[in-house]
Structure 1
Amino acid sequence: MPVLNRHIIYVQGYDPRGLAQYYRMFRTELRKFGRLYELVANIGRPQVAADGEIASWTIETTAPDWQTRTRYDFLRFEDFIQHDLAAPIWHTVFHAVWIYWRLVFSGTIARFWKANWRFATFITYPHLMLLGEALCAAGFAFIFEKGLAAIGVPDLFSILAATALFVALLGTALKYTENQTYLLYLLCDTIWTWEFSHRQRPEWDERIDRFAQYLVDVARKSDAEEIVVVGHSSGSFLGTEILARALKLDPSLGQHGPRIVLLTLGGNYPIVGFHKVSQDFRDHLRQLAVEPSIDWIECQARKDVMNFFQFDPVAGHGIDVGAARRNPTILAVRFREIIKPEHYNLFRWKFFRVHFQFVMANELPHAYDFFMIVCGPIPLRERMTRPEAALTVVTGDATAREWAWKQLEAPPADRTDAVDLGAMEPSARRRG
């Protein structure tokens, strides 16, 4: 106490935008963070490793009575994702539809519905949208065929012409409405998670293994007080895989050097873990559930349809480790309390924007603040287990801050399995 040096290892989810756009977003949100808390946060330029797989930058954060230095690593997968999105449209459509109906007949979609109906609806959405666009194209093709028949065109030629029109109309609609519907992107995501779960993407596994070795090397050499492995969205199960594989490389990983914390945000573990073939992944969840040297914090939000809210990543996969369990600590995040009221009603219907709020700046001071996790002076475990004191450290007056530090330095309270970061009354958040 306090943290002077922190190392963040951010695991990219299935997002094709990659380093350039992520860094611009991060820099913009960092400026908002500085204005909100009236502090100075200076960011360096990204430095890309020789193999291009990791980019890193530094953040120097200065407040009146504390300062931190953060090294931020961005683990990259966008080359794989962009390759997926470059596949022919019809290959993507037929492959994704085939996988979806396999999920239906295997009962996996039903398990999604039972675990979280909102996510199940979301994963079904692109197929409903595809059906709607196909019906519209078929309607135009049907009218066209009847028109050709009416002027005496033979049935064989009119049907072939109508079929060609249907294919052209549907392909054009899919291509030129993508920026509004995200349909092809979501279909590619479905294909990828299926193939990743079934170990049909060896290039992903090979890179994950390299990232696991990188984590081991960082833990051995870093002078940071804590290393936080952050996984957002699909990065949640990728980050879980990286940490579990790192522990196999070095079973004493969390017992020497910096404290290591896994922070998963907006996670969607069942899209991998609910497949029967994913036993290795479930074994990794079991391993992390009982690992005493690692803290795992899982943040979920009801408003985010792209995460499994109120889903236990361990018990939800049928894993029972009894009294040996110590991970994860599951936290409920209320976006209503970190977005200004005048913006919230518009914000709540932008589903991708909501999903990314986990890694964007707050509009209001709150115990959950991604950039305070990255740049603030309080270790992540203490921040999440004593949220009121953590917020007071950066928003209270001198007397309140002194009280807050004493609270944070006191022996830890009994561990809880779930914490609601929105449970505090607003008046309590600045109390000294």
Structure 2
Amino acid sequence: MSVRRRLVVYVQGYDPRGLPEYYRMFRQEFRKTLALYGLTGSVGKPANDPERFVTTWHADMHGAGWDVDTTYMFLRWEDIIRRDFARPAWWKVPAMYLAMLHTIAQGMVWRILQAHWRFGLFIIYPMVLTTLWALAGAAVGLAAAKLIAWTGLPLWLGDLIGAGVGFAAFAFALNATEKHTYLLYLCDDIVSTWQFAHGRRPDWEARMDLFAGYLVDAVKASDADEVVVVGHSSGSFLAVDVVDRALARDPALGEHGRPVRLLTIGANLPVVGFYKKAQWFRDRLRRLAVSSQIGWVDFQSRHDIMNLWPFDPVAGHGIDPGPARRNPKVVSISFRDMWRPGNFGRRRWRFFQAHFQFLLANELTEAPYDYYLICCGPQDLAARAAAAH
């Protein structure tokens, strides 16, 4: 199907940067895409609705014999995320340990390691590194206590000073390396995702329900040839949640004369779906798996350790919908097809940057995946996914 008008609904993941960073990135990477393919186009200014948690901008792209107008709806909840990030470190770290110990005790980490060992290592990385920093702090504190004792001061005073020095060393290591390790960010991410999976985030649920209403209204009001709901990273399980909620609100969603597609990229669905208490989420996956109204495409890459590859989002959760299954179409892509040769090895090990490649412009023209052509090009998502194999 040739697309002339498209509506993209982007469900923000767990990232406190929110709208300013994502709009800057979209505009910058859009321009790179135009230059790469020799196209023309522009991105309009974002229009924020002060009474709704949504910001919209328009993009037009033009090629030989085709023109596409895209409306890009950015669904916002960075206000909630920033409240999470405002929690003090003395709360974040113990809460992360409690969530991880519960996760390990349930066998979830083992299931993730079986699904893909690299993603499993990424899951336990925050706890392992935080523990190493704590042990290093304890070693510094012990050395300080022995030094104080050597001066002849009372042992209790040496122990007290040593404990303070050790805690200060741990706190320094945690904060000084945050720019590179993202440990405090990951503490918030782990705890909040655990809470959401166990039904303990009514603020998240209320916002996703609001987003579902926005989606239903936007589809009904749109004259687009295609509607694409996008979820990247943690936005993947939230996009699944929003689309299923929207179907519950409007069982005819996707039957209003324009196809509705769900696009998950760099997805990490098991961080919710593998919890025993998350049957509600597995039910959402089952319903989407058999939906005739929603076309779901999941792009994943072995070069991104922050998504599961290879992974079937339905069967991987132990769901067997039988012959009625329609979704998702899983497409494996290689960043080698998207990056200029020369420094591939170095780039793939910059984990967070590689993870965001799903939202960045390509550097080569023949790649089967290109985010900005998916959003703004003339080929519909189903055809692009089919051609990727």
- What interval of TM-score do these two structures reach, taking the shorter chain for normalisation? over 0.9
In the alignment, which residue of structure 2 is the partner of 1:134?
134
SS at 1:341 equivalent? coil
The 5 Å alignment of 1:62-73 reads 62-73=62-73
CA distance in 2, matches of 1:14, 1:121: 20
Q: Which moved more, 1:151-160 or 1:298-307?
A: 151-160
In the alignment, which residue of structure 1 is the partner of 2:270?
270
CA distance in 2, matches of 1:38, 1:250: 41
Matching residue's letter, 1:112: I
SS at 2:342 equivalent? helix
8 Å CA contact 1:231, 1:238 repeated in 2: yes
In the alignment, which residue of structure 1 is the partner of 2:374?
373
8 Å CA contact 1:118, 1:305 repeated in 2: yes
SS at 1:32 equivalent? helix
8 Å CA contact 1:220, 1:257 repeated in 2: no
SS at 1:319 equivalent? coil
In the alignment, which residue of structure 2 is the partner of 1:116?
116
In the alignment, which residue of structure 1 is the partner of 2:88?
88
| Residue 291 (str. 1) matches residue 291 (str. 2) | yes
8 Å CA contact 1:222, 1:257 repeated in 2: no
The 5 Å alignment of 1:33-432 reads 33-51=33-51, 53-365=53-365, 366-387=367-388, 419=389
- Provide Cα deviations, 1:154-180, integer angstroms capped at 9, x if missing partner: 111111111111111211221222111
CA distance in 2, matches of 1:283, 1:63: 42
- Per the TM alignment, residue 328 of structure 1 is displaced from its structure 2 partner at its CA by 0.4
- Provide Cα deviations, 1:30-86, integer angstroms capped at 9, x if missing partner: 110000000112000111112351111000111121110000011112111111111
Matching residue's letter, 1:16: P
SS at 2:254 equivalent? helix
Matching residue's letter, 1:386: A
CA distance in 1, matches of 2:31, 2:158: 61
Matching residue's letter, 2:153: V
8 Å CA contact 2:333, 2:368 repeated in 1: no
Identity of aligned residues (%): 45
Structure 2-normalised TM-score?
A: 0.98
8 Å CA contact 1:254, 1:260 repeated in 2: yes
- Provide Cα deviations, 1:97-143, integer angstroms capped at 9, x if missing partner: 11111111121111111111111101111112112211221111111
Query: How many residue pairs are counted as aligned between the two chains?
Result: 388
CA distance in 2, matches of 1:225, 1:343: 39
Structure 1-normalised TM-score?
A: 0.88
Matching residue's letter, 2:320: D
8 Å CA contact 2:141, 2:167 repeated in 1: no
- Per the TM alignment, residue 267 of structure 1 is displaced from its structure 2 partner at its CA by 0.7
**TM superposition outliers: structure 1 runs of 4+ over 2 Å:** none
SS at 1:245 equivalent? helix
CA distance in 1, matches of 2:193, 2:332: 25
CA distance in 2, matches of 1:18, 1:215: 19
CA distance in 2, matches of 1:129, 1:30: 37
- Provide Cα deviations, 1:1-27, integer angstroms capped at 9, x if missing partner: 421100000111111111001111111
8 Å CA contact 2:340, 2:364 repeated in 1: yes
SS at 2:8 equivalent? strand
Matching residue's letter, 1:116: H
CA distance in 1, matches of 2:143, 2:345: 42
CA distance in 1, matches of 2:368, 2:348: 20
SS at 2:200 equivalent? coil
Matching residue's letter, 1:370: Y
In the alignment, which residue of structure 1 is the partner of 2:2?
2
Matching residue's letter, 1:340: R
Taking CA–CA contacts closer than 8 Å with sequence separation of 6 or more, which of the two structures ends up with the larger relative contact order? 2
Aligned CA RMSD, in angstroms, stands at 1.0
